[in-house]
Amino acid sequence: MKAIKLKEDIYWVGAIDWGIRNFHGYSTQRGTTYNAFLLIDEKITLIDTVKYHLIDEMLDRISDVINPADIDYVISNHVEQDHSGSLPEIMAIARNATLVTSPNGEKGLRAHYKENWNFHVAKMGEVLNIGERNLTFVHTPMVHWPDNMVTYLPEDQILFSNDAFGQHIATSERFVDELPLDIVLEEAQKYYANIVLPYGAQVKKALGALAGLKLDIIAPSHGVIWRSDIPTILNEYEKWSGNVTEKKAVIVYDTMWNSTEMIAEKITEAFQNQGYKTRLFDLKKNHISDIMTEVINAQYICVGSPTLNNNIMPTVASFLTYLKGLAPKKRFGLAFGSYGWGGQSIGQVEQYLKDCGFETLENIRIQYIPDEDQLEEIKEKLEGKLS
């Protein structure tokens, strides 16, 4: 397999995971890549590795350029196993290599692999000379784990950003400009919404630490590489990390006998009539990670569940648990649903939305099947609140 050149003596040597469709709960319908990079200088440097099952693909690509045993430095920007999984084998092949990582990276790698490798712990802002080039290490904790750092190469103006700016896309094309931009941005948005969203404050801090760097290329650890559209993705990260929302409502529900669905559709109509973009999701037909892609910039999150055994439906519970963990901020919530006798689910959904920190509207509850008059009343009351 071939290494792919980013610039003179700088190569992509990662691996393509064509078949993955579930990345710890995130539906990856386009697959993904694990990006590793090889720098040929006086000291040969490998930045990150790949998931273990794809190590042969990475070794093949490295061997297209040099003998892997000749690697002098291995930079580990992130401990998570999609990037560190092949470290044990690489460190066994490149026996004299120094492993460079952040302080939390060292702790995490020791805990994961129980190996006494030749660690070099990089301080914040530390510079490592590898010949004609200098690598600068910037700690970016919680983007996405406490150990994360990024590596900046000033001579070539490349930021090896690890998880930041990534997308789960498996393609033979390696650069953003080789794919339709809307697909890349949609996947970058989905990635942010499902991986990075809880850490907006830390993203802001990281963007601040990187401000002023000249960026010709941003090379993330997943998906395609930004050698174009860099201001666009930086601008999106500013918005997402700032919880900037649009006049938009996401309506999410499950239903037993279509009554909660009828309410969901009427709520959707009310938002549309008031000029909101709307997205309506039946949880039986949509994956929660796809819904989060739409939640990221929505002002209103409306969640409906009928009452099942004095509780909310399991699909709705799953969505609410996921939503709470990803912690979008500055939102409004609306709970709704139909019920037969107890009707506990609506209050439970509302409490969940409050626990998310959302300001909630008065909930909507209908016993058994809503009739036309009740549906009209739901629409008119909600329109009145939104106007």
- Positions annotated as catalytic residues are 24, 78, 80, 82, 144, 163, 191, 222
How many residues does this entry show for the chain? Answer: 387
Q: How far is the CB of 166 from ligand FEO (least distance, A)?
A: 7
Would you count residue 163 as binding ligand FEO (CB under 6 A)?
Answer: yes
Would you count residue 147 as binding ligand FEO (CB under 6 A)?
Answer: no
Distances (CA, A) of 174 to 4, 12, 29, 179: 8, 8, 18, 9
Residue of 30, 61, 139, 144 that binds ligand FEO (CB under 6 A)? 144
SS3 at position 335: strand
Would you count residue 82 as binding ligand FEO (CB under 6 A)?
Answer: yes
Looking at the Cβ atoms of 163 and 294, the one nearer to ligand FEO is: 163
Looking at the Cβ atoms of 240 and 336, the one nearer to ligand FEO is: 240
Q: How far is the CB of 79 from ligand FEO (least distance, A)?
A: 8
CB-based closest residue to ligand FEO: 80
For residues 245 and 298, is the Cβ–Cβ distance under 8 A?
A: yes
Candidates 61-69, 80-88, 210-218, 228-236; binding stretch for ligand FEO (CB under 6 A):
80-88
Q: How far is the CB of 2 from ligand FEO (least distance, A)?
A: 23
Looking at the Cβ atoms of 113 and 145, the one nearer to ligand FEO is: 145
What does the DSSP assignment read for 190-237?
HHIIIIIGGGHHHHHHHHHHHTT---SEEEESSS-BBSS-HHHHHHHH
Amino acid, single-letter form, for residue 135: L
Candidates 76-84, 150-158, 299-307, 334-342; binding stretch for ligand FEO (CB under 6 A):
76-84
Residue of 35, 194, 221, 289 that binds ligand FEO (CB under 6 A)? 221
Would you count residue 139 as binding ligand FEO (CB under 6 A)?
Answer: no
SS3 at position 58: helix
Q: How far is the CB of 236 from ligand FEO (least distance, A)?
A: 18
Residue of 41, 57, 80, 254 that binds ligand FEO (CB under 6 A)? 80
Residues 6 or more apart from 192 whose CB is under 8 A from it?
Answer: 236, 237, 240, 296
Residue from 197, 385, 163 nearest 298 by CA: 197
State both tokens at 185.
Answer: 């941005």
Looking at the Cβ atoms of 80 and 261, the one nearer to ligand FEO is: 80
SS3 at position 133: coil
d(CA 361, CA 77): 43
Q: Measured at the alpha carbon of residue 138, what is the angle toward residues 4 and 200, in degrees to the nearest 5? A: 95
Q: How far is the CB of 150 from ligand FEO (least distance, A)?
A: 13
Residues 6 or more apart from 246 whose CB is under 8 A from it?
Answer: 277, 297, 298, 299
Would you count residue 190 as binding ligand FEO (CB under 6 A)?
Answer: no
Q: How far is the CB of 82 from ligand FEO (least distance, A)?
A: 4
Interface with ligand FEO (CB under 6 A): 78, 80, 82-83, 144-145, 163, 221-222
